[in-house]
């Protein structure tokens, strides 16, 4: 018997889809432990997010709703997560910037073992939860277990399907735990949003990704193709570093990890760090004028061509096929 | 400002696809791959140097940069390289790589912080071999210090740092009062990402990336102080909470075909892969 706590990620008063992947993991873990899972929602004015969470099959949804939690900061949230979480066998969340920031801090608070960015929960070995996670930019995996009363886990969103909705969990209020000294020395200043209307990278069925070769025409070339495919836009590190697109579009080992049904790499040579972020995609296409580009070692379909001509042509022809 | 920069060596990240897992899953065989500094740690060191200088007079250090690593004697190469680049002192915690996990490292670093009393701890956001992304956060919690992870920009203010964090959907600006902890992301080494109070933000731009040590500095670094500490003197509880059971190779992915033109590509995507 053992129970699992999912720490929900909330954005603009709504539950982020990252949470749904963590719930899928929690469901599997709770089932192995013969227990159940709860979802913890933190924030200010989060009734909507709590209602979303209540549709995800949890035994109960716990809500810490307080003005002090209006802006997420690890220092502000960690005490409450640790206080609620210490009664559980596993505390989990998505390996998004939010989850990585918060749950590692919670692991420190609880002196707990921490498995980050896991890609699978394996059958138990020796009666213990057994996790698989990538190392060396996904060029090897390690199977590991944690030795602490409460275990902390973050899950790779692209490796766990989003939990489907069903049922209606009860909602309970929980108290906000007293903040520690660190909280008085950190200030949320402002959020500079670069949010687009496109699907989230980690959730999209199709990702169109561009490299440095696109230069200032990054969006001019990619936007029309992404539009006809309903795709999210991603990028190589080089394109982000050069400022052709926002940093949070970076696909790779230390950026976004994606595994869409279709990934189209445009003008991306395929550095190891980039491949680590997309090689689990189902179908991979590359368009690059260098026929020796390493990306072709993992593509299903490679087109050696001038992207400035090929991509607009591809856009028009896909549009025709879809019409 | 006094800054502590924990560093780690990793196997050459640009050849990480050459690591092999033997059939018994007992280890990751890194073969003849070279050791390199973890790229994010190099960025942390560069950030520390930028914060302790006037960008126009980089030879003069305004403050102190202490680097630390964990590992056997030959990891001192990593420390000497950091000393050559501009750090003032180094600490090596003598331990075998297999004997530590993130929590143990964070506990040992907490003790070093207690002894060294830096104003700032600067780390890379993650090591590109273990890829765990945790030591900075755990250390900040153990110290009860404010933190700013995944920093893309850092601006020094009076007794505080204004940090732009790279997060989903944009950049989050937070202000941390010193002493504080920062983990850095890739863009922190862009030309206008980091400014100390004395560097003129409007007039000065750094060169892209990290600086390199000139030869005389490499010679001089051999004489800079390097202390060796024992893990057991820093941490009483060195039990690892993460147990590595075995290793597995990644799923294989074979190269597909090259298509001659856009028409063929669209045809294959529609009729073969059925993704349109």
pLDDT of residue A1 exceeding 60: no
Structural domain contains residue A42: yes
Question: A12 with A158, same domain?
Answer: yes
Q: Which of A159, A185, A211 is the last residue before a domain boundary?
A: A185
The average confidence (pLDDT) of chain B is 96
- Does A139 contact B17 at a Cβ distance shorter than 8 Å? yes
**B269 phi, psi to nearest 5 deg:** -65, -35
**Residue listed under structure tokens 């937070």:** B174
Q: Could you tell me if A220 and A90 lie in one domain?
A: no
Q: What average pLDDT does range B164-179 have in this prediction?
A: 96
pLDDT at A71 over 90: yes
Joined together, the tokens standing for residue A225 give 């193709």
The CA distance from A237 to A245, in Å, is 10
Residue A281 belongs to domain with CATH number: 3.40.50.1220
ipTM of the complex in this document: 0.95
Contact: A107, B134; criterion CB under 8 Å: yes
Give the tens place of pLDDT for each residue, B185-231.
Answer: 999 999 999 999 999 999 999 999 999 998 999 999 999 999 999 99
Note whether A208 and A318 are same-domain residues. yes
Over A67-82, what HEC string results?
Answer: HHHCCCCHHHHHHHHH
**Least CB–CB distance from B275: residue in A135, A181, A262:** A262
**Domain end: A158, A185, A212, which one?**
A185
A114 - beta bridge partners? Answer: A152
Residue A280's φ and ψ, nearest 5 degrees, are: -90, 5
A108 and A253, same domain (yes or no): no
Whether A321 and chain B come into contact, CB under 8 Å, resolves to yes
| E strands in A157-231 | 170-173, 186-193, 206-210
* Residue-wise pLDDT tens digits, A209-248: 999 999 999 999 999 999 999 999 999 999 999 999 999 9
- Any idea what DSSP says for residue B73? G
User: Nearest CB to A313: which of B106, B140, B262?
Assistant: B262
Beta-carbon contacts of B103 under 8 Å, excluding residues fewer than 6 positions away, are A107, A108, A111, A113, A114, B138, B240, B241, B242
Tokens, residue B54: 């006037």
DSSP-derived pairing of the beta strands B120-124 and B2-6: parallel
Burial A4-20 (b: 16+ CB within 10 A, else e): bbbbbbbbeeebbbbbb
- Of the residues B31, B135, B275, the best mutation for testing chain A's interface (the one with the most A CB atoms within 10 Å of its CB) is B275
Calpha distance B246→A249 (Å, rounded): 33
CA gap B39, A137 in Å, rounded: 13
Task: Note whether A4 and A153 are within 8 A (CB).
Answer: no
pLDDT band at B31 (very low <50, low <70, confident <90, very high): confident
Q: Which two tokens stand for residue A41?
A: 């929602």
The count of structural domains within chain A is 2
Identify the three-state secondary structure at position A212. helix
Which pLDDT tens digit goes with each residue over A132-170?
999 999 999 999 999 999 999 999 999 999 999 988 999
Six-digit token pair at B247? 């290793």
To the nearest whole Å, the CA of A169 is away from the closest chain B CA by: 28
Poorest-confidence range of A112-126, A192-206, B145-159, B178-192? A192-206
Contact at CB, A134 and B250, closer than 8 angstroms: yes
A20 found inside a domain:
yes
Mean pLDDT estimate for chain A: 96
Q: Distance (Å, rounded) from C-alpha A273 to C-alpha A286? A: 16
Helical axes A74-85 vs A97-110, angle rounded to 10°: 60
Judging by beta carbons within 10 Å of its beta carbon (0-12, 13-18, 19+), is residue A74 exposed, middle or buried?
buried
pLDDT tens string B230-249: 999 999 989 999 999 999 99
Closest CA to B143 of B171, B107, B170: B107
Q: Are residues A39 and A143 in the same domain?
A: yes
Q: Is B103 on the interface with A (CB under 8 A)?
A: yes
Chain B CB contacts of A282 below 8 Å: 275
Contact B265 A285 (CB under 8 A): yes
Question: From the CA of A191, how many Å to the nearest CA of chain B?
Answer: 4
- Whether B177 sits inside 8 A of A147 (CB atoms) is no
The pLDDT tens digits of the residues spanning B107-140 come to 999 999 999 999 999 999 999 999 999 999 999 9
Task: Return all residues near A267 (Cβ < 8 A) that are at least 6 apart.
Answer: A210, A211, A212, A213, A214, A287, A288, A307
Q: How many CB pairs under 8 A join A and B?
A: 281
pLDDT for B66: 98
Predicted pLDDT of residue B97: 85
Q: For residue A195, is it within any domain?
A: no
Residue A170: which domain range? Answer: 4-185
pLDDT-based confidence at B98, cuts 50/70/90?
confident
Question: Residue A187: which region, alpha, beta or left (left: phi > 0; alpha: psi -120 to 50)?
Answer: beta
Residue ranges per domain, chain B? 2-248
User: Is residue A124 within 8 Å of B217, Cβ to Cβ?
Assistant: no
Identify the helix (H) or strand (E) that includes residue B50: helix B39-51
What are phi and psi for residue B249, nearest 5 degrees?
-75, 160
Percentage of chain A surpassing pLDDT 70? 100
pLDDT given for residue B254 in this prediction: 87
Tell me if A192 is assigned to some domain.
no
User: To the nearest whole angstrom, how far is the Cα of A168 from the nearest Cα of chain B?
Assistant: 29
Torsions phi, psi for A144 (to 5 deg) = -140, 160
**What is the DSSP-derived secondary structure letter of residue B54?**
B
For residues A158 and A214, state if they share a domain. no
| Type and span of the H or E element at B107 | helix B102-116
Q: Across-strand partners of B157?
A: B160
Pairing mode of beta strands A37-43, A120-125: unpaired
Give dist(CA B255, CA A83) in Å, integer: 49
pLDDT at A166: 86
| Structure-token pair, residue B252 | 């294989």
Q: Which residue has the tokens 């690892």?
A: B240
Give domain status of residue A98, yes or no. Answer: yes
Q: What is the pLDDT of residues B41-82, one digit of tens each?
A: 999 999 999 999 999 999 999 999 999 999 999 999 999 999
Integer Cα distance of B52 and B85 in angstroms: 13
Exposed (0-12), middle (13-18) or buried (19+): which is B72, by Cβ within 10 Å? exposed
| A105 sits in which H/E element | helix A97-110
Kindly tell me the sign of the dihedral angle through the C-alpha atoms of B138, B140, B141, B146: negative
Per DSSP, helices labelled H in A194-283 are: 218-229, 237-241, 272-275
Q: Are residues A176 and A43 in the same domain?
A: yes
Q: Say whether domain B2-248 belongs to CATH 3.40.50.9100.
A: no
Question: Within a domain: residue A33?
Answer: yes
Q: How confident is the model at residue A2 (pLDDT cuts 50, 70, 90)?
A: confident
Taking the C-alpha atoms of residue A200 and residue A220, their distance in angstroms, rounded to an integer, is 20
B170 contacts A301? CB cut-off 8 A: no
Cβ atoms of B28 and B79 within 8 Å: the answer is no
Burial class (CB in 10 A: 0-12, 13-18, 19+), B216: exposed
Q: Tell me the residues of chain A between 229 and 248 that have a Cβ less than 8 Å away from chain B.
A: 237, 240-241, 246-248
What is the pLDDT at residue B41? 97
Task: Determine the Cα–Cα distance for residues A280 and B188; give it in Å rounded to an integer.
Answer: 29
The pLDDT of residue A194 is 86
Q: Is A153 helix (H, G, I), strand (E, B) or coil?
A: strand
Q: How many CA atoms lie within 13 A of A252 on its CB side?
A: 26
What is the H or E stretch that residue A277 is in? none
**CB within 8 Å of chain B, chain A residues 100-119:** 100-101, 104-109, 111-117
Nearest chain A Cα distance for residue B94, angstroms: 23
- The SS3 assignment for A280 reads coil
Q: What is the pLDDT of residue B227?
A: 98
Burial class for B233, CB neighbours closer than 10 Å (0-12, 13-18, 19+):
exposed
């Amino acid at each position: 018997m053992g129970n699992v706590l999912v720490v929900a990620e909330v954005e603009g008063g709504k539950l982020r889809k990252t949470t749904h992947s963590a719930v899928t993991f929690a469901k599997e873990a709770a089932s192995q432990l013969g227990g159940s899972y709860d979802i913890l929602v933190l924030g200010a004015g989060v009734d909507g997010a709590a209602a979303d969470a209540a549709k995800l099959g949890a035994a109960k949804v716990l809500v810490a709703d307080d003005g002090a939690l209006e802006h997420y900061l690890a220092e502000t949230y960690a005490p409450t997560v640790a206080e609620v979480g210490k009664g559980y066998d596993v505390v989990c969340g998505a390996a998004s910037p939010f989850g990585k920031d918060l749950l590692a801090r919670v692991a420190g608070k609880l002196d707990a073992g921490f498995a980050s960015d896991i890609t699978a929960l394996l059958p138990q070995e020796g009666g213990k939860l057994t996790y698989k996670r990538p190392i060396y930019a996904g060029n090897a995996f390690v199977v590991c277990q944690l030795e602490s009363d409460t275990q902390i886990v973050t899950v790779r969103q692209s490796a766990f399907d989003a939990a489907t909705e069903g049922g209606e969990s009860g909602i309970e209020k929980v108290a906000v735990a007293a903040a520690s000294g660190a909280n008085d020395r950190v200030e949320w200043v402002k959020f500079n949003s670069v949010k687009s209307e496109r699907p989230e990278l980690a959730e999209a069925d199709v990702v169109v990704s561009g490299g440095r070769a696109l230069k200032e025409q990054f969006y001019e070339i990619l936007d029309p193709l992404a539009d006809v495919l309903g795709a999210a836009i991603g990028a190589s590190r080089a394109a982000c570093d050069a400022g052709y697109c926002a940093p949070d579009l970076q696909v790779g080992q230390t950026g976004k990890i994606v595994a869409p049904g279709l990934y189209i790499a445009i003008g991306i040579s395929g550095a190891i760090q980039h491949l680590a972020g997309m090689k689990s995609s189902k179908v991979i296409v590359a368009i690059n004028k260098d026929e020796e580009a390493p990306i072709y070692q993992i593509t299903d379909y490679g087109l050696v061509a001038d992207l400035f001509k090929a991509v607009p042509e591809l856009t028009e022809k896909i549009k025709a096929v879809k019409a | 400002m006094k800054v502590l920069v924990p560093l780690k060596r990793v196997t050459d990240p640009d050849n990480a696809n050459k690591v092999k897992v033997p059939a018994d899953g007992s280890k990751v065989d890194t073969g003849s791959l070279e050791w390199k500094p973890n790229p994010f740690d190099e960025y942390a060191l560069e950030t520390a140097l930028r914060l302790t200088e006037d960008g126009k007079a980089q030879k003069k250090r305004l403050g102190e940069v202490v680097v630390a690593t964990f590992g056997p004697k030959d990891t001192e190469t990593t420390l000497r390289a950091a000393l050559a680049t501009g750090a003032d002192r180094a600490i090596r915690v003598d331990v075998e790589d297999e004997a530590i996990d993130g929590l143990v490292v964070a506990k040992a670093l907490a003790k070093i912080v207690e002894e060294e009393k830096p104003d700032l701890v600067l780390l890379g956001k993650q090591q590109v071999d273990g890829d765990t992304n945790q030591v900075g956060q755990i250390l900040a919690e153990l110290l009860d210090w404010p933190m700013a992870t995944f920093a893309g920009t850092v601006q020094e203010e009076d007794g505080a740092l204004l940090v732009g964090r790279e997060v989903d959907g944009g950049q989050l600006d937070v202000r941390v009062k010193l002493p504080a902890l920062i983990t850095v992301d890739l863009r922190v080494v862009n030309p206008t990402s980091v400014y100390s109070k004395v560097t003129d933000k409007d007039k000065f731009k750094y060169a892209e990336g990290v600086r390199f040590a000139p030869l005389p500095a490499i010679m001089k670094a051999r004489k800079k102080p390097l202390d060796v500490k024992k893990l057991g003197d820093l941490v009483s509880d060195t039990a690892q909470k993460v147990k590595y059971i075995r290793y597995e190779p990644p799923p294989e992915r074979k190269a597909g075909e090259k298509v001659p033109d856009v028409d063929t590509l669209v045809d294959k995507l529609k009729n073969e892969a059925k993704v349109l």
